Amino acid sequence: MKNSVSFYTLGCRLNQAETATLQTTFERNGYRVVDFKAPAEVVVVNTCTVTENGDSDTRKIVNRIRRMNPEAQVALVGCQAQIQREKLLTLPNVRWVVGNARKMDLANIVNETSGDQAPQVITPVIPRSTFTSPVAGIDRDHTRANLKIQDGCDFFCSFCVIPFARGRARSRLFPDLLSEAKQLIAAGHREIVLTGINLGTYRDGNKTLPDVIDALEKLPGLERVRISSIEPTTIPTRLIRRAGENSNLCRHFHIPLQSGSDKILQAMNRRYSVAEFSDFIRQVNDAVPGVCQGTDVMVGFPGETDVHFDQTYSLLSELPLAYFHVFSYSERPWVKSRKLEPKVVPEIIERRSHILRELSARKRYQYLQAHVGTVETVLFEQQKNGYWNGLTDTYIRVKVKTEGNLKNRLLPVRLVEADNQAMIGTLQ
Ligand code: SF4
């Protein structure tokens, strides 16, 4: 049996949640989990394939592992493993390639591998059924804990490889997610971030996303529940009401837009129009005082002209959004947009991304400026460069200079000035 294991996570918050669970399964199997930079007999990389960069990051990280630790045996798991196994097998020291359906069994798979066995590839079709999680993913490094409640997607946006890499939409059994939430709270987490691919489609029997939030709210010791990202067409009004009611649901919604052009939205197979998205964002803004709304936007989708891009820019300028994540269109295997023309050249994609990133930074700054002088509750996470920093429920990063240990404490802070993308505050 091997003794030490380390982990590296690429990609999204859901991958982070799953890596935390994987770590616990290895610990239960008698492994010592060590820091990624320390020597380990087995190194697990939880891969991402949403963009070409995600793919090349796997190659880079495997090469880095070989340089740092030439004896280590590498396990590549997750999304890229699911759909690009042949490519991954050519990378150095790779002993296991395990797709999404079986990755949570990795500790057992590794234990059962004998010394002279050829590299193992385990990528069966992902089942559609409701799922449970083997153990709670206790993440000791972070104050906020991710709780996976859903996986996969049935929406098939034309640019997105996720329905292929993660399979069709499925939900976690309601009692199972509550049981993990209780363990996370017992381990000291005061904020839970609900994660999934298409969270708004959560359904176990008659339980939907608002039922999950209602149930979590009743658990003693849990101060905050945050929704990581949610598709615009899937947000129940009941959820918005709840965020506006001083509940422990964070006043923070991340709602992907992707484009401000109806024509591009249609080509992307998104399920809403620009007008519907705008109405919704404004409605949330009116219903939830102080709410922070952010979005994802994609530039360079095939056929995106300057006019379409200008529409996106104007829309993002006008809407009450506090920030946006800008993604460059990336051609993925299997997706429908591969066949669409004309492609946008990389230089234009780069320029458009830059313009939107600048706009996002300006909007973020304006949002922070609007909070100068207010008192907000901050959940402190870590000390860095002499400042304790943490987050408000409205996703404002706050830095406070103090001698005390504030880790995992929820304290009122007066926000004094905006400093880059965070705010300097003083304890009240
Ligand atoms: S909603 Fe669209 S972009 Fe999001 S995971 Fe599903 S297919 Fe991909």
Token pair of 165 as six digits:
């890499």
Pick from 198, 229, 270, 301 the residue to mutate for probing ligand 1's pocket: most ligand atoms within 8 Å of its CB.
198
Spell out the domains of the chain, with CATH numbers in brackets: 4-122 (3.40.50.12160), 127-250 (3.30.750.210), 271-370 (3.30.750.200), 375-427 (2.40.50)
Q: How many whole angstroms separate alpha carbon 251 and alpha carbon 287? A: 10
CA distance 111 to 82: 21
Give residue for tokens 């010791």.
221
- Cβ–ligand 1 distance for 197 under 6 Å, the answer yes
139-155 per-position pLDDT tens digit: 766 789 999 999 999 99
From 49, 79, 150, 153, mutation site for ligand 1 pocket: most ligand atoms within 8 A of C-beta: 153
265 lines ligand 1 (CB under 6 A): no
pTM above 0.85, yes or no: yes
Q: What is the pLDDT of residues 168-216, one digit of tens each?
A: 999 999 999 999 999 999 999 999 999 999 999 999 999 999 999 999 9
The residues, ordered by sequence, that sit 6+ positions from 182 with a Cβ below 8 Å of its Cβ are 219
pLDDT digits (tens, 9 = 90+) for 324-362: 999 999 999 889 999 999 999 999 999 999 999 999 999
| Helix, strand or coil, per DSSP, at residue 220 | coil
What is the atom index within ligand 1 of the atom nearest the CA of 160?
8
